[in-house]
Chains A and B, each alone.
Chain A
Amino acid sequence: MDTKVRFFELTMWPHMRAAYNLARWLVRNDQDAEDVVQESFLKAFKAQESFRGSEAKTWMLAIVRNTAMDFRRRLKAGPAAPIGDERHEPEDDSPDPESALIAESRREQVRHAISHLAEEFREVIVLREIEGLAYKEIAAVLGIPMGTVMSRLSRARNLLLVELGGVKEVQHDLP
């Protein structure tokens, strides 16, 4: 098989979902996230000669993160984007619709709390808690020292604890 196609299939494609997820959390709406992923894939594909066989996932995510940052910077010139076009995706068949509904609204509550974190805290939460990266990998994606990863993560978690612990404060905007 063509080595370029092989590179796409083995190095880029397996991380497509992670790329989309990170982009979606950073730009906070579906359409922009799709644009960021496409742009990132194009960059990665062009830069494949510079890929030195380090961790493919962190390499891809670093590109996505930088692309998202550029995207946000360009947007800042225009009107501010509204936060979260929180569309509800259709759920899987569930044995108990009622408990599924509760779980779903709790999930939206958690998503809401994360999406309202400042960018520097949001990105460490997404990379650690949702993508499951180790500190070393997060440091590589964000281009910051491990100590900074740790301090941002601890700040971010404490903010989330306050936000999600206070049920009263967050329940008012539930559907």
Chain B
Amino acid sequence: MTCREAGPLLHARLDNELDMASSASVDVHLSDCRVCAAQYQALQNLHEELVSSDLAYAPGIALERKLADRFLGEEKSPRRLWNWSWPSASVMAAVAIAAVVLIAFLPMLRVSNTDTLSAEILDNHLRALQAVHPVDVPSSDQHTVKPWFQGKTSFSPPVPDLTQDGFILIGGRLEVIHQQPAAAIVYRRRQHVIDLYVSPSTDTDSKIELHELGGYHLLHWTQNNMSYWAVSDVDAADLRTFADLIRAR
């Protein structure tokens, strides 16, 4: 590969947008050519600075309220009651039949504990994303985040440094999940936020199970008397990698 060929590919290489073969040939060129290697290093430094500088502008609370009022409030406005007309007899009959069927089969529809838990975890994750501060202790240093939980929880959650693997620690916060205190460790994968919820559990160790809710992925497992939930809108494969890394620590 010549410098001319490598030039345009440096960006794609940096952004992980190349297939393995092209990636490898760019790497070979970079190890041979000092000029391109220096250029690549400069691009990488710029990229890292941009990603880590927290350049995003955050919306004010007022805007969040306005939007919530406008779109959630609309549904609760009195006008809706006016528009609501009495359903026809056939609809009423259908509802009645559905109710009878539902009551008869209700015991079979027992919602499992993990299903309600996953919904609660997702709600918590979404609320945190919308909050002004998604973390109580903002820090990319595991030695700041881990001690922060001491005295706030009776357990010590693992806070591994996964920067090498592309998961950047943002911080932590304290949550209550199912009336139990839980540590939420917050990581970032590109711009996707991953919440890792950790709480003590008496369950035996379990494998990773995948739940999907409204476009979000949730992974759950139990390990060494701790229950783990990882939730994010990052793609399932990335989240799985994340879970495997946490389990391996």
Contact = CB atoms under 8 A, between A and B. Distances in A.
A150 B54 contact: no
A151 B50 contact: no
Main secondary structure of the interface of B (DSSP, over half): helix
Interface in B49-74: 49-51, 53-60, 62-64, 66-67, 70-72
Interface stretch (B9-17, B24-32, B102-110, B218-226): B9-17
A16 B127 CA distance: 12
Main secondary structure of the interface of A (DSSP, over half): helix
Contacts of B10: 154
B12 A20 contact: no
A72 interface: no
A110 B52 CA distance: 11
Contact of B43 (A9, A11, A133, A157): A157
A8 B100 CA distance: 32
B21 to A, nearest CB: 18
B130 A13 contact: yes
Nearest to A42: B70
A5 B56 CA distance: 27
B11 A20 contact: no
Contacts of B8: 150-151, 154
A8 B49 CA distance: 34
B194 to A, nearest CB: 13
Contact of A20 (B46, B63, B191, B215): B63
